[in-house]
Structure 1
């Protein structure tokens, strides 16, 4: 197969095919006497597999994984791909846990918001360290009041509610910058509704990544079988004619 043939079959441009070969996503092409590249259907399978892996696990991870699959046993390769599925499942579980926590905040808020709490009391109630609450204060996520001449922290209803939301979002896999964005939404009228919307959007993105990995399944099998010395082209044929997702 010529470079243009592989590009047409894989959905990449000819330049992208050459670039991905250089990056090690696909094995080096055989060079003819006149210097032209000669590819096989396995190169197409590797490129199509990379598309799904890159969507599911990020391009750098996809390149690393494909390089491993080309020299792994079937058992090793299956374990590596299963781990990508498991990682997506863990991310989904974290977001669902955060959703349930937000629902609990809304349903039980009155019980929490009646009183003020010290930093020690709030840390114990949330199951975090006092140093964590101080860090969140430094990041502008949870702002307590200062009382007494010792400037001791006191958390009122708004700060307690904010702390509970931060705990939920952190449990959902959100980094501090993303949490800060959500917390800004809480100042508006729709507060918790906006936070739940952001979590739903994260679930949608995880679902899209899962589907991309499923689409790559037969082509991954072809790469793995070729590495193991068996013929995996039949598995890859199962996806032929299926429109590729955007690069």
Structure 2
């Protein structure tokens, strides 16, 4: 059974710092930020910590990879203010954000699958105009113009008439935007993805970026679990 921390188990700032590869100033900063409970003081004004402070520091450092600094700080402040429900709410928000990110990745992967060429389907003619493309996608021409204003689609112009002309890349971008909009994603979230497609040089190189994205989400999920386990240990130590 884990030993209950006692107030007589005194630790110096340097003890906490060395155990976690930090500077003593970092430990003091964490206390001032409310990440650690307030330290006791010796008659000469020196800070003294206990194993409970060490547990709080371990919990904070474990929360960092999954939640990020602002949220991890807010969680520990809530714990130290005896407001565990607020800490749990913040943790729930991080999990909800991770779930939303997973849904976004799933929708992006689905959109890319839908964009895969179908040999049986008729191809768009070179230099497609806005009306035929809108009908093909089942949207209004005004929607394509709105996507152009948002920077999602970049049609050229017919030199004689000035009409919008969508080449192969512009048609691809319009189809990708259409799939993601159907998934409920706002334009401001679609624009960076299409920019990524352009930077990658097309859809095929984007597969590597999606794999990296998936791996980051998995690592974040593991980090959330590790942080929760360390925080649970600290809450039990607090009693």
If the length of structure 2 is used for normalisation, what is the TM-score? 0.74
Taking the TM superposition and a 5 Å limit, the aligned residue runs for 1:102-141 are 102-108=112-118, 111=121, 113-115=123-125, 116-118=128-130, 121-122=133-134, 125=137, 129-137=143-151
CA RMSD in angstroms comes to 3.4
1:152 maps onto 2:176 in alignment: no
2-structure distance, mates of 1:9, 1:151: 69
Cα deviation per residue 1:97-116 (whole Å; 9 max; x = unaligned)? 21121122114487474242
Cα deviation per residue 1:187-225 (whole Å; 9 max; x = unaligned)? xxxx322112112111211222222221111332245x3
Q: 2:30 aligns with which of 13, 20, 35?
A: 20
Aligned to 1:205: 216
1-structure distance, mates of 2:82, 2:137: 48
- Gap runs ≥5 in structure 2: 1-10
Report the count of equivalent residues.
221
1:218 maps onto 2:222 in alignment: no
Q: Any idea what SS the aligned residue of 1:154 has? A: strand
Q: 1:163 aligns with which of 168, 174, 184?
A: 174
Contact 1:145 1:156 in 2 (8 A): yes
2-structure distance, mates of 1:48, 1:168: 44
Aligned to 2:102: 92
If the length of structure 1 is used for normalisation, what is the TM-score? 0.72
Contact 2:130 2:144 in 1 (8 A): no
| Compared CA separation, residues 58 and 143, structure 1 to 2 (3 A) | same
**Which one is further off, 199-208 or 174-183?**
174-183
Q: Any idea what SS the aligned residue of 2:115 has? A: helix
Contact 2:34 2:80 in 1 (8 A): no
Aligned to 1:30: 40
Contact 1:144 1:154 in 2 (8 A): yes
Contact 1:30 1:37 in 2 (8 A): yes
Contact 2:158 2:164 in 1 (8 A): yes
Computing the radius of gyration over CA atoms, which structure comes out larger, 1 or 2?
2
1:143 maps onto 2:157 in alignment: no
2-structure distance, mates of 1:12, 1:119: 62
Q: Any idea what SS the aligned residue of 2:148 has? A: helix
1-structure distance, mates of 2:63, 2:150: 35
**Which one is further off, 158-167 or 117-126?**
117-126
- Gap runs ≥5 in structure 1: 226-231, 236-247
